[in-house]
Amino acid sequence: MKKQLAFSLHSAVAIAALITAGCATNNAPLISLPPLPAPPAPPAPPAPPAPSAFDTPEFRSNVGLSEINALPAYDRGLSGAGEIVAVIDTGIDPMHIDLDDNLHPQSHDVSVSRTQSGLRGPSDHGTKVAGIIAAEKNNVGMHGVAFGAEILALRADAPGSCQAGSCTIKTDEFVAGIDAAIAAGARVLNLSFPVLDAPPGQTPTPGNVFLPPEMEAALRRAIANDILIVAAAGNNAPGRIPQPFIAQIGLEANISGQILLVGAADRNGNLFAGSSIGDTARDIYLVAPSEVLTTVFDDQFAQTDFGTSFSAPHVAGAAALLFELFPNLTAKEVGQILLNTARDRGAAGVDDIFGHGMLDLAAAIQPIGNLSINLSAAQSADPILLAQTMIAGSAPFGDSFSGGFSDVNIVAADAFNRFYSADIGAAITRPTAPSLAVDQILNSAFRNYDSGLALGKHTYASFYWEVGEPYTHDRPSWRHLQTGDTPYSDASLRAVLSTKLSQNIDAHTGFGFSPLSIIDGAGVGGDIFLISGGHRRDGFHEMASTINSVAIRKRGANNLRYGAAFSMGGIQGRDATPFGARIEESEMFSLLAFARKNTANANLEASIGMVRESDSLLGARSSGALNLGRGADTIYARVGAQFALPKGVSLFAQASGGATHMRGVSESLVQGASAISSFTFSARADKSGVIADSDHLTFAISQPLRVESGTLELNIPVSTALGHSSVVFQDRSFGLTPTGRQIDIEIGYSFRTKWGYSLGVNALHRLDPGHMADATASDAVIFSIQHRR
């Protein structure tokens, strides 16, 4: 039995019908516009960028914009440009400085009986509504939600009906306005007046509604023409129920989402006391701000009062921004998105008061549901979830996957088939750069125990186990190994059974050893060379975390030995990405044929092997849209030589090189890979009797298995086309060679005293750990004391 004690000094990183329209207004004073500013002076040097270039006084003047979280939409460049929002109302002031440039040329008075036609009527209700939707961003006053959209102003107040702040819109004007919106190609229709009525003396309810058939037919025409209808829920309605007729149509299964009813929220986000509630229309109901600075007549601005008339245009403007960003969406989809992304208010979930909650534009432009990736422009295969997509890199590839895919964005679709840019590099798990963590070195080099049992004259069983917890003087028991109790929860057991079948044939079966270890007899311990774990390491087989091997050796004439080994194991682990993808394990099978020739002063060896991986590529695992194929086959050759020279000097060198071919891929962005070459080597020089007869000096240098060449071919979705309804793909090649080359250098010296103690010191240096050029080199010095008895 041997006892060992080690401690270290280390540096760097050693240890990482009759329709009444009206709304309440207050008596806030009008604000006159200032004179136009003089031409600006030459700009000063730019100041550090603000958190958002759109967080301006003009933005802050319209408090509703912050309440609906509009800044993220503006930061994405959205303004509503190219979108048409129809406003059937009391007309607008066409000369208003905040509306004149955003007025659609087909805006007009839809009344056929008015003697003096014109866009500007006696009420500024329509001007206020239009300003909330699309007041211009011109550094004057405030700006609207969709400040780049066009307002199709359709004046529909009945001639002579505007009295005491209220106006009446009759059926003929309403129908004409609907048809004008359809003809102009409007995507959104804002109705900031109640569309309900009932026979005299009766209370309007969803089942007791009187409405001329002409009006219903007009609304259904708008729906058939893919127009999103945004209607004010109404103020002070009997029973505070929302507009029954609108709700009755909007709740139809094939329409649900294409009509939205909007209630009014006060400055604190609570429901305005006069606003209609969600009630039976809760499934198509949400709330929006109502107390905002907006446009009134003669280039002026005023503070409006509460009322759903001013809440609905916030939703209409938000819808215009969504249509701009995602022109492939239908009106029903836009409405469903605005409902689904509203901030929950009141009782949890959709409730009778707030319906879906408060309009949230920031959430509306974000993906809904899991993102998925189309695999081809033809979309011949089903999309694959981004959350199922991943590559877990392996040591031979170093940082090639993470580096190659850095800053590579692909197009992915959400549950509404809206396309977003996704950083595919986030689906790559980069291996940890192996620094010289001294505790791990000591675990593998010193904290181990071995024992053996002779089963017969030619049969022997040996056991070897190691523990990864802090070193103690107690030996691990079988109970610890079986249950994993502390302090040996990281204990691992290895075993080998060897027997002689005949005079010249040996057979070995091992658990936890690589084929080369079994061929060598599975000897353990006593190697002064610490960081490479012995001169017979084989990187091709060490990719598997557990190897079960069977080997047979035959002795031939002239000190020739040859044989074969078979092994099977698995690449374990549960890596995860920010998208949530996880990969289980891959199976590995290998076959190795070898030959060795021993002479008086030299040992020569050569082997050829094959490694077959079921679900990995040189240990790198994958899933989803980055599936690397159905496994890989590697053929490799290994040569080595050891020479005994005079004066106690010995030299050893070995090198292995392999070629890996990825088996066919399907349902993946990966189209294939070129042949991948890889290489590993180690060399060592030993000198005994340097100072005394019992000392030993070792110098070693090695490189773990590293990919030397190879490319991965992908066809990836990079942009959208045809109104964002299809995806453009591009062929891309990614190199698989890592940026760095890990080199391990070690010098070791030991001597044995006459009292049975061996004292040793090892100096270690690791360059480019993990084959990563950006990884910090590490160094360590380890002192050891061993005693044998």
Instruction: List Cβ<8 Å contacts ≥24 apart for 458-461.
Output: 458/499, 458/500, 459/497, 459/498, 459/499, 459/500, 460/497, 460/498, 460/499, 461/495, 461/496, 461/497, 461/498
Instruction: Indicate the DSSP class of residue 31.
Output: B
Q: pLDDT per residue over 237-263, tens digit each?
A: 656 767 767 788 899 999 999 999 999
Half-sphere exposure of 175 (CA within 13 A, CB side): 14
Question: Amino acid identity of 257?
Answer: G
Tens of pLDDT, residues 341-381: 999 999 999 999 999 999 999 999 999 999 999 888 776 67
pLDDT above 90 (res 398) = yes
The rounded Cα 477 to chain-centroid distance in angstroms is 45
> Which residues share a beta bridge with 322?
none
Instruction: Write down the H helix ranges in 375-461.
Output: 400-404, 438-445
Q: What are the backbone angles phi and psi of residue 359, rounded to the nearest 5°? A: -50, 130
Q: If you average pLDDT over every residue of the chain, what do you get?
A: 82
**Whole-angstrom Cα Rg for the chain:** 39
* Least confidently predicted of 68-72, 379-383, 385-389, 762-766: 379-383
pLDDT, tens digit, for every residue of 512-550? 777 877 776 544 333 444 554 444 556 787 777 767 889
Give per-residue pLDDT as tens, 433-472.
887 766 556 555 544 556 777 877 778 787 776 554 443 3
Top-confidence residue, 436 or 488: 436
Distance CA 748, CA 762 (A): 4
For residue range 700-725, list pLDDT tens digits in order.
999 999 999 999 999 999 988 766 77
Lowest mean pLDDT among 34-38, 126-130, 202-206, 643-647: 34-38
Q: Which two tokens stand for residue 595?
A: 């030959």
| Identity at 2, one-letter amino acid code | K
Spell out the SS3 assignment of 77-100: CCCCCCCEEEEEECECCCCCCCCH
As given in the structure block, the two tokens for residue 405 are: 């895919």
What is residue 525's predicted lDDT score, i.e. its pLDDT? 34
- Per-residue model confidence as pLDDT tens digits over 743-767: 999 999 988 888 878 888 889 999 9
> Reduced to 3 states, what is the DSSP secondary structure of residue 239?
helix
CA-CA distance, 126 to 23, in Å (whole number)?
A: 11
Selection from 789, 700, 696 nearest residue 751 by Cα:
696
* DSSP state at residue 318: H
pLDDT value at 300 more than 60: yes
Compute how many other C-beta atoms are within 10 angstroms of the C-beta atom of residue 742: 23
* Sequence-separated (6 or more) residues with CB below 8 Å from residue 41: none
Specify the DSSP class assigned to residue 145: T
The SS3 of residue 699 is strand
- The answer, yes or no, to whether residue 320 has pLDDT greater than 90, is yes
Strand partners, 8: 782
The DSSP symbol for 405 reads T
Tell me whether the omega of the peptide bond preceding residue 487 falls within 30 degrees of 0, making it cis. Answer: yes
Q: Is the pLDDT of residue 23 over 50?
A: no
Q: What is the pLDDT of residue 438?
A: 61
270/430 Cα distance (integer angstroms)? 48
Tens of pLDDT, residue by residue over 227-241, are: 999 999 988 665 676
E strands in 78-205: 84-89, 108-109, 150-155, 166-170, 188-191
Is residue 563 exposed (0-12), middle (13-18) or buried (19+ Cβ within 10 Å)? buried
376 by DSSP, 3-state: which? Answer: coil
Q: What is the pLDDT of residue 60?
A: 92
Per-residue pLDDT, averaged over 45-68, amounts to 79
**What DSSP designation does 387 have?**
G
Following CA atoms 222, 227, 232, 233 in sequence, which dihedral angle do they give, to the nearest 10 degrees? 80
CA trace torsion 531, 532, 535, 538 (10° rounding)? 170
**What was the pLDDT predicted at 114?**
84
d(CA 494, CA 547) in angstroms, rounded, equals 10
Q: Alpha carbon of 318 to those of 139, 149, 297, 379: distances in Å?
A: 21, 11, 24, 31
- Cα separation of 83 and 190, whole Å? 13
pLDDT of residue 432: 85
More confident residue, 38 or 783: 783
Averaged pLDDT for residues 600-608: 90
Over residues 727-754, mean pLDDT: 92
CB contact set of 68 (below 8 Å; sequence gap of 6+): 145, 288, 289, 314, 318, 358, 359, 360, 361
Strand order in the sheet with 711-721: 670-673, 711-721, 726-735
- The residue-averaged pLDDT of 39-55 equals 56
DSSP code string of 763-782? EEEEESGGG-TTSPPEEEEE
CA distance 107 to 757: 100
